[in-house]
Amino acid sequence: MRIKVIFFGYRYQLLVLVTFVILVYVYVNLRFVQEHVQECQSAQQTPVIYIITPTVSTFEQKADLTRLSHTLRLVENVHWIVVEDSNTKTTMVANLLKESGLRYTHLNSPTDKHAKRFDDGVLISRGVVQRNEGLNWLRNNTYHSSTNGGVVYFADDDNTYSLRIFEEMRSTKKVSVWPVGLAGHLRFETPIVKNGKVVGWFAWAPTRSFAIDMCGFSVNLKLILDFPNVRFKSIQGELESHFLSSLNITLDDLEPKAKLCTEILVWHTRTERSIVEKNNVDKSIYIGEGTLNTEELKNVIRKSQSSIEV
């Protein structure tokens, strides 16, 4: 009889223990599922910002892309579309994107540097071919979504972006606009806003239909998909204005952001081209006897094949 009680007791304790473990397991999993569902819901409510960045091989490229990637890491729900101006995707950019932790798409499309320098009689503007490649990708890989949607922004690799500009543009219904610092040889360019509506431009060549810099506007993804043939064309001084005009919008459709265009949240900064000594290689890399990295450094300076990326 006593043996039976003890036996029953052990069985009972074991049962309690197993039940407890199962309950903890179920609880932890439920919490995980719940958190995941919440995350998905909030991601669904937050429109994705598709950021199209043309980029070309320069001595400064890695520095520019590093800085931009670190900005974008601080922005919720972005998808970075990086389009290299090159015949092939480089490992430098591929690795930078992999390590960025961002959601991204890596594309390439070369600007023809020789044969077709001209597009409709005008020199091909910087980044045009690449931005169009980004637009192609969007049209082939995204769709109209009733709940979520997205916003498209053209972010060159050397500008300076306040984190706040991304939250401003996220609510874009058609086209949002805002001031741009250090653009058009002015301290800033801005849409002129009256009674909450854009009525004109304070900018270089203000008689253009949309006198605004590339980093001064964002477009709802739906509009990009609704006008599948709209692309950038290298029309001197009219790159942005022609693009926005093709989307069949009027001044009245523009949504002025950044406190009705009274704040500068993006700057058209330019990365100064570094002067890299070519003729003075041996002197400039002299770092003493028996150094192991001399050959590597020579290659770095000449920007040839090297295991050291700059």
Q: Which is nearer to Mn ion, 203 or 223 (CB)?
A: 203
Q: Which of the ranges 52-60, 136-144, 156-164, 222-230 carries the binding residues for Mn ion, by CB under 5 A?
A: 156-164
- Of 78, 80, 81, 127, which one interacts with ligand UDP (CB under 6 A)? 127
What does the alpha-carbon distance between residue 171 and residue 114 come to, in Å, rounded to a whole number?
41
- Of 84, 85, 133, 158, which one interacts with Mn ion (CB under 5 A)? 158
Question: For Mn ion, which residue has the nearest CB?
Answer: 158
Give yes or no for a contact between 107 and 137, defined as CB atoms under 8 angstroms apart: yes
Give yes or no for a contact between 174 and 217, defined as CB atoms under 8 angstroms apart: no
Residues in the chain: 310
Q: Which is nearer to ligand UDP, 12 or 118 (CB)?
A: 118
Among 165, 157, 128, 146, residue whose Cα is nearest residue 221? 146
Read off φ and ψ for residue 214, nearest 5 degrees: -55, -35
Q: Residue 239 Cβ, how far from Mn ion at the closest point, in Å?
A: 13
What does the alpha-carbon distance between residue 225 and residue 231 come to, in Å, rounded to a whole number?
11
- Of 54, 134, 179, 216, which one interacts with ligand UDP (CB under 6 A)? 54
Question: For ligand UDP, which residue has the nearest CB?
Answer: 127
Question: Is 111 a residue that touches ligand UDP (CB under 6 A)?
Answer: yes
Active-site pick, 84, 240, 277, 295: 240
Question: Is 156 a residue that touches Mn ion (CB under 5 A)?
Answer: yes
Q: Which is nearer to ligand UDP, 31 or 270 (CB)?
A: 270
Q: Residue 269 Cβ, how far from ligand UDP at the closest point, in Å?
A: 8
The three-state secondary structure class of 104 is strand
Give, in degrees to the nearest 5, the angle at Cα 77 between 224 and 247: 15
Read off φ and ψ for residue 215, nearest 5 degrees: -90, 10
Q: Residue 91 Cβ, how far from Mn ion at the closest point, in Å?
A: 24
**Footprint (CB under 6 A) of ligand UDP, residues 261-290:** 270
Q: How many residues bind ligand UDP (CB under 6 A)?
A: 13
Q: Which is nearer to ligand UDP, 127 or 150 (CB)?
A: 127
Q: Residue 126 Cβ, how far from ligand UDP at the closest point, in Å?
A: 4
Strand order in the sheet with 175-177: 103-108, 78-84, 48-55, 150-154, 217-220, 175-177, 254-256
Q: Burial of 205 by CB count in 10 Å (0-12 exposed, 13-18 middle, 19+ buried)?
A: exposed
**Footprint (CB under 6 A) of ligand UDP, residues 143-202:** 156-158
Element (H, E) at 267: strand 266-267
Q: Is residue 240 flagged as an active site residue? A: yes
Q: Residue 156 Cβ, how far from ligand UDP at the closest point, in Å?
A: 3
Question: Is 85 a residue that touches ligand UDP (CB under 6 A)?
Answer: yes
Q: Residue 220 Cβ, how far from Mn ion at the closest point, in Å?
A: 25
Q: Partners of 218 in the beta sheet?
A: 153, 176
What does the alpha-carbon distance between residue 237 and residue 129 come to, in Å, rounded to a whole number?
16
Pairing of strands 48-55, 150-154: parallel
Site residues (CB under 6 A) for ligand UDP? 53-56, 85, 111, 126-127, 130, 156-158, 270
Q: Which residues are catalytic?
A: 240
Q: Which residues here bind Mn ion, judged by CB under 5 A?
A: 156, 158
